[in-house]
Amino acid sequence: MEKLVWQNNTFDGVSVFKIFESKSTKEIRINLQSGSAMKEHQAPGAIMVQVLRGEIDFGVNGEVIKLNELDMITLEANVPHSLLALKDSIVRLSLSKNDDVSRIFGVLKS
């Protein structure tokens, strides 16, 4: 058993942290400073995105969906999407075990 801490009090642009990895999933914490964004990208497997704190605009298929605290959205593989923080936000990203966390860091660099 392991206690996982999602709370964060520091927001500076976009920061990504791998919190946990099991036999089937990877849990990622994304901290987004208000006004910061992750440009359009896609995942090779299905994902779940949940706002734990704050508020984001989640862009998908030409539509922008506002996600508030505790809202969650799921996407199938290869669906282009983007994120824009409307407030300082903490986002939980659940990835397939087969997905590579370094891909997310690549989104931030490009």
41 in a structural domain = yes
Residue-wise pLDDT for 44-70, tens only, equals 999 999 999 999 999 998 999 999 999
Does 34 map to a domain? yes
Q: How many domains in the chain?
A: 1
Give, in order, the Cα–Cα distances in Å from 107 to each of 36, 79, 102.
13, 15, 9
- Cα Rg of the chain (Å, integer): 13
CA nearest to 104, candidates 48, 28, 31: 28
In a domain, 4, yes or no: no
pLDDT(30) > 90: yes
- Of the listed ranges 19-28, 42-51, 82-91, the least confidently predicted one is 19-28
What is the token pair recorded at 35? 């006004």
Whichever domain contains 25, its CATH number is 2.60.120.10
Prediction pTM value: 0.89
In a domain, 21, yes or no: yes
Q: Is residue 109 scored above 90 in pLDDT?
A: no
Domain that includes residue 87, residue range: 14-106
CA 44 to chain centre: 15
Instruction: Let me know if residue 1 belongs to a domain.
Output: no
Note whether 44 and 95 are within 8 A (CB): no
Flag whether 77 is in a domain.
Answer: yes
Distance CA 50, CA 90 (A): 9
Going by C-alpha positions, the residue among 40, 77, 35 that lies closest to residue 56 is 35
CB 76: neighbour CB atoms within 10 A? 9
Residue 8 falls inside a structural domain: no
Across the range 73-78, mean pLDDT stands at 97
The verdict on residue 6 lying in a domain is no
